[in-house]
Amino acid sequence: MASLAGAFDPGTFSHAFHPFFWPETLHIETQIGLVRGAKVVAGVDGSALHLCAFMKEGGQCLVLESRKVPAIYAINDAAGIRTIGLPVCAWDESDGARKTLINIDQLESELKRLL
C-alpha cells in the first residue's frame, strides 16, 4: 500500500500504510511505480492524488478532504478506482477560519474498510 502524504502527519498513517511518501520529493517514474503497485492509496486532497489514475483497475483511494476536489473523483471513476472521501476540516462561515473535523475513530473505520 502507498500513502500520498500531502501535508498530513505521517504518524496517522504509518501503522497502516507503507511506503509513506511525499510525491514531490520523488522522480515522477518512482511516484507512478509506487502507486501502480498499490491496492490502496490514501492522502490529503490535492494534485498528488491524481496519481491514482496510474493504479490498477479495482484499486481504492481514501481522500482526506480539506476541501472538495471533484477532479480526483472523476479521474478515479474513469480509471475504475473506488474512492472514499473523509472530510477532515471545514470552513467556519462566521470568520472564514478552517476548523479541523477529523474523527480518529472514523478514520480508523475507513482504513479498515479499505484494508
Q: What does the pLDDT look like over 81-92, one tens digit per residue?
A: 999 988 877 767
Nearest to 42 by CA among 58, 69, 26, 19: 19
Report whether 55 contacts 4 (CB < 8 A).
no
Bridge partners of 89? 100
Q: What does the pLDDT look like over 61-83, one tens digit per residue?
A: 989 888 888 999 999 999 999 99
Percent of the chain with pLDDT over 70: 71
Report whether 56 contacts 30 (CB < 8 A).
no
Half-sphere exposure of 1 (CA within 13 A, CB side): 18
Instruction: Give the residue extent of every domain in the chain.
Output: 2-114
Per this entry, what is the length of the chain? 115
Is the model more confident about 71 or about 12? 71
Which pLDDT band, with edges at 50, 70 and 90, does 47 fall under? confident
Which pLDDT band, with edges at 50, 70 and 90, does 5 fall under? very low
Cite the DSSP H helix spans in 1-115: 28-36, 70-79, 104-114
Which pLDDT band, with edges at 50, 70 and 90, does 28 fall under? very high
Which pLDDT band, with edges at 50, 70 and 90, does 3 fall under? very low
CATH of region 2-114: 3.40.50
Model pTM score: 0.70
The single residue listed with the C-alpha cell 500513502 is 3
